[in-house]
Amino acid sequence: MAAFASFAACETRAYAKVLDKTWINAFACRQQNGTLAVRVQRKMSTASAAAQQFGDWTEITDDATT
């Protein structure tokens, strides 16, 4: 597990994962404790196309997490 090296690295990761359709939405952020993170909206289910349009928001601080 490795933390993001810079805010730019967070932005790059967010953009790439939305572009390859791994995540629905994503943006770089800084948590209240100062930790760099990517806030992502992941797909809820692969059961139906309608369910994949909406997802759960979570913050990722590990640069290797998908």
Determine the pLDDT at residue 5: 93
Tens of pLDDT, residue by residue over 21-59, are 988 899 999 999 999 999 999 877 666 666 556 677 889
Domain range enclosing 11: 7-60
Domain count, the chain: 1
Which structure tokens are listed for 21? 């359709």
**Position 2 in a domain:** no
**Position 65 in a domain:** no
Buried b (16+ CB within 10 A) or exposed e, 36-49: bbbbbbbeeeeeee
**Position 15 in a domain:** yes
Would you say 23 and 13 are in contact if contact means Cβ atoms under 8 Å apart?
no
**Position 1 in a domain:** no
